[in-house]
Structure 1
Amino acid sequence: MTGLLGPAQIRALAAKLGVRPTKKLGQNFVHDPNTVRRIVAAAGLTEDDVVLEVGPGLGSLTLGLLETAARVHAVELDPVLAAALPETVAVQAPEAKDRLTVLAGDALKTTVADFTPAPTALVANLPYNVAVPVVLHLLATLPSLRHGLVMVQLEVADRLTAGPGSKVYGIPSVKLAWYADSRMAGKVPPAVFWPVPNVDSGLVAFTLRDAPPAAVPREDVFAVVDAAFAQRRKTLRAALAGWAGGSAVAERILRAAGVDPQARGESLTVMEFAAIAAARRTAVSEPPEAESDGRVAR
């Protein structure tokens, strides 16, 4: 049975390594075994899963993942922590040491070639400052992923899982929805971390599915999303004017996609954004209408 790390062990290990958690790397280490077990259970892992963990830190969650998963690939930016993780696992869970692979480097620069066997699940306590970019990069890069669970700042968790019409629905919400169905899987209090953060954390669970059947690449759809939310208080007719080449052109594209030009991005589903991107390619090419009334579109 794997020996999970408690508060005293976490601090002792950090002291041994000369590690002082830094805000720059977003280092807040989980030191509560019950929270680790809760995360692993919420991830719904099977004995066949190959888990990708980003930011394993001192190894508290890594040890919990190795209790269930077939293998764990751990990507750690801090070279001291990356070098120490195999030894920690060898001491705490010697029977699992051969099922751990550690990659010292930046998760945002990883590619599919970095992992053999290919990961099927992403489970991680992600640094708050890079959580969204890391999740979206890995989903775009690793087609083998099927499901996952990430712990992020609660505010970020709310944004990732928000639906159309929500005040916090935005770019992260839509882009995650392109890849997966997501849901909030619980809250995590600050007290289970060292050092203690000044915010609550949230667990985001997601299950991959086929991308929307759009006739355009993901990059084209994401360009529409970025444009729509860059000026989220404006109507889509106005917000997409720069992207489309004029507000009149934007209106024609929106109508061709079956979207109200007076709507705002926060009301659209990922399918509607995909339809807009597709309509841009097929919209009738006509000169933009003159806008001579001097009014500012809102």
Structure 2
Amino acid sequence: MARLLTSGDIRTLTKGLGIQPTKKWGQNFVVDANTVRRIAATAGLDADDVVMEVGPGLGSLTLALIETARRVIAVEIDPKLALALPTTVEHRAPEEHGRLTVVETDAARLKADDLPEPPTALVANLPYNVAVPVVLNSLETFPTLRKGLVMVQKEVADRLTASPGSKIYGAPSVKMAWYTKARRAGSVSPNVFWPVPNVASGLVAFERVESPEANRTQVFAAVDAAFGQRRKMLRQALKGWAGSVAAAEEIMKRAGIEPTRRGESLDIAEFIALADAKEAAHE
């Protein structure tokens, strides 16, 4: 079993590497072993899983994931951390360290051929400023991702799992629902991090759903238009997307959606219906 990092270990490592956690890359390192074990357990990994971990940092979570998964592909943007991670894992998990692959790149721009093998699970402590694009890009880029567990800012967790009609329901909620069935999987105190952030964190667990038979680009364009002017009625909000207010009303009529509704009241199925109706109107 791997020897997980303690708070003292993390401070020793950062000092030895000459690393000062930066806000630029959203670096807040988990220093609580119980939290790491909890995340790894909640992720529900199997022995044949290939885990993509985004932002492994010093390896706190990596060491727990590598105990179960067949392979952990750690995607790290910081060159110092990317270089140091294999040594840390080899020292603290000598029997499992061969399962680790480190890829130095920006996860928000990750492409399929950047990884040596298609991942089946995403497990990560994500920087708050890039959490949504990283999750959505990963789901789009890697159809093999069957499940995941991400730790993000509480507000981001709430948005990713929000239901239609709530004030926090928005474009991230709808786009997440295109790919997955997502749920809140717990909260995380700021005190388990170093440096201690001024926000609480939340866990989001998800399982991939079957891809809808629709034009994703067109659906997402409708979503962006609807929430770009979320206070307006859909016939106004979708004016640019449809071409005119009259065209928007006709598309909504075809889709069986009242033009006076607002974007925050529509679920993913209704946005798909809008995209389908627009395509049908142009045939």
Q: When the two structures are superposed, what TM-score results if normalisation uses the length of structure 1?
A: 0.93
The 3-state SS of whatever aligns with 2:143 is coil
Q: Which residue of 2 aligns with 1:141?
A: 141
Structure 2 unaligned regions, length at least 5: none
Q: Which residue of 2 aligns with 1:280?
A: 278
Matches of 1:59 and 1:103, distance apart in 2: 14
**What amino acid is aligned across from residue 33 of structure 2 in structure 1?**
P
**What amino acid is aligned across from residue 145 of structure 2 in structure 1?**
L
The Cα of 1:108 is off from its aligned counterpart by 1.9
The Cα of 1:276 is off from its aligned counterpart by 0.2
Q: Which residue of 1 aligns with 2:60?
A: 60
Matches of 2:44 and 2:233, distance apart in 1: 41
Q: Which residue of 2 aligns with 1:99?
A: 99
Q: Which residue of 2 aligns with 1:247?
A: 245
Within 5 Å, give how 1:144-293 maps onto structure 2. Answer: 144-214=144-214, 217-283=215-281
The Cα of 1:114 is off from its aligned counterpart by 2.1
The 3-state SS of whatever aligns with 2:19 is coil
Matches of 2:282 and 2:154, distance apart in 1: 44
Number of matched pairs = 283
Q: Does 1:119 align with 2:104?
A: no
Q: Which residue of 2 aligns with 1:51?
A: 51
The Cα of 1:211 is off from its aligned counterpart by 1.7
Matches of 1:150 and 1:47, distance apart in 2: 19
Inter-CA distance 179–284: structure 2 relative to 1 (3 Å threshold):
closer
The Cα of 1:283 is off from its aligned counterpart by 2.3
**What amino acid is aligned across from residue 242 of structure 1 in structure 2?**
G
Structure 1 unaligned regions, length at least 5: 286-298
Q: Which residue of 2 aligns with 1:128?
A: 128
Matches of 1:24 and 1:86, distance apart in 2: 23
Q: Which residue of 2 aligns with 1:291?
A: none
Inter-CA distance 263–98: structure 2 relative to 1 (3 Å threshold):
same
Inter-CA distance 284–48: structure 2 relative to 1 (3 Å threshold):
closer
The Cα of 1:209 is off from its aligned counterpart by 1.0
The 3-state SS of whatever aligns with 1:254 is helix
